[in-house]
Amino acid sequence: MVPQPVVRLCQTRDALPPKIVDRQLHETLPVQLEAQVRRTVEGIGIGGHEFDLCRQRQATRVGHRGLHRRVPQALAVGNFERDPRPQDLDAVVLGAGESEELVGAGSQQADGDVDPVEACARLADAGADVVGFNCIRGPATMVELVEQVRSRVSCHVAALPVPYRTTEDAPTFFAFNDPACDVLPADGTFPAALDPFSCNRYEMGAFARRIYDKGVHYVGVCCGAGPHHIRAVAEALGRTPPASRYSPDMSKHAYRGTDPKIPEAYRRFGHQGE
């Protein structure tokens, strides 16, 4: 069986206010994006080339708070004026759910933006098959947004956080500060010094289980993910991928195991300081 084609587009920051994005770029990106989609759909029609990829979905990554208005409705759902999209393609439209300090506190009034949840609701109303969020936010600061979107829309909802311990004070992985390290470069922890803020596999599994139980079924992990994160998400949702053979089995660990062959002295060593 031939897999359903997938369309992948690059992320755009067109939704950022003009004070951050060059005005000319701000005005021309919608046209560029529509041209990309047209070329992609035409490519699928002549054999699919590189677009028969992952999850059998049309993964259209367009950003952020203003995507509902900056990306034309025709782009969001593929209903082009001249050439309608093939009906077997789904439109997956994800934003990042940017924080106020990046978007700008006054941009909603000045720029016509709405909050990320409302943006997803409008995309769903326009016909998107999947809406939601990916990247920049970790599980702790994405979960509430995703749950709000789930309560607002009837289509599928996606959540693909970065595997980092974002907080209310640092809602995205751009915002971390590491006072314990005095050798950081001037630009801070992102992107090469995020190690102290990493989520472990159990945190990612717990996030996946929580949102899946709330009806969010397009689940993954974005930038910074390791194989153990992906495996933990799959296992938390009841899957047993081939890589599950590498999942931790502490029963035969020399100091922390439960196997009766492990000497008691070893076990005491492994539990010292507890």
pLDDT of res. 186: 82
Quick check: 118 and 148 in contact, CB under 8 A? Answer: no
* Residues 90 and 118 reside in one and the same domain: yes
pLDDT of res. 27: 61
* Residues 187 and 267 reside in one and the same domain: no
| Counted domains in the chain | 2
Exposure string over 68-92, b if 16+ CB within 10 A, otherwise e: bbbbbbbbbbbeeeeeebeeebbbb
* Residues 80 and 49 reside in one and the same domain: yes
Three-state SS at 1: coil
In tens digits, the chain (274 residues) has pLDDT values of: 334 444 444 444 444 444 444 555 556 655 666 666 666 556 555 444 333 222 222 333 333 434 444 443 434 434 434 444 445 566 777 888 765 544 433 334 334 556 788 888 888 887 788 889 999 999 999 999 999 999 999 999 999 999 999 999 999 999 999 999 999 988 789 999 999 999 999 999 999 999 999 999 999 999 999 999 999 999 999 999 999 999 989 998 999 999 999 999 998 998 888 7
* Residues 145 and 267 reside in one and the same domain: no
Has residue 254 been placed in a domain?
Answer: yes
* Residues 188 and 258 reside in one and the same domain: no
pLDDT of res. 228: 96
Quick check: 89 and 58 in contact, CB under 8 A? Answer: yes
Three-state SS at 185: coil
Has residue 124 been placed in a domain?
Answer: yes
* Residues 129 and 213 reside in one and the same domain: yes
Has residue 1 been placed in a domain?
Answer: no
Tokens of 182: 């005095």
| Pick from 170, 144, 146: nearest CA to 157 | 146
Quick check: 224 and 163 in contact, CB under 8 A? Answer: yes
| Pick from 205, 208, 204, 229: nearest CA to 219 | 208
Quick check: 257 and 251 in contact, CB under 8 A? Answer: yes
- Angle, alpha carbons 232-136-187 (nearest 5°): 120
- Residue numbers of the domain that contains 260: 240-274
* Residues 63 and 151 reside in one and the same domain: yes
Distances from the Cα of 218 to the Cα of 97, 103, 214, angstroms: 16, 26, 12
Quick check: 58 and 90 in contact, CB under 8 A? Answer: yes
